[in-house]
Amino acid sequence: MIALDTNLLVRLLTNDDARQAAKAEAWLRDNASARSPAYVDHVVLCELSWVLERSYGYARDAVHQAMSALLNHDQLKVESPGLVRQALGLYEAGPADFSDYLLAVRAQAAGYAPVLTFDKKAAKTPTHRLLR
The domains of the chain are located at 6-130
Sign of the dihedral defined by the CA atoms of residues 103, 104, 106, 111, in that order: positive
- What stretch of H or E contains 117? strand 115-117
Strands 38-40 and 76-78: parallel
Beta bridge partners of 128: 115
The reported pLDDT for the residue numbered 1 is 84
Give the pLDDT of the chain (132 residues) as one tens digit per residue: 899 999 999 999 999 999 999 999 999 999 999 999 999 999 999 999 999 999 999 999 999 999 999 999 999 999 999 999 999 999 999 999 999 999 999 999 999 999 999 999 999 999 999 999
Residues ≥6 apart with Cβ < 8 Å to 103: 115
- DSSP annotation of 3 reads B
The reported pLDDT for the residue numbered 96 is 97
Q: How many helices (H) and strands (E) does the chain have?
A: 6, 4
Q: What is the pTM of this model?
A: 0.95
Q: How far apart are CA 113 and CA 91, in angstroms?
A: 17
Cα R_g (the chain), whole angstroms? 16
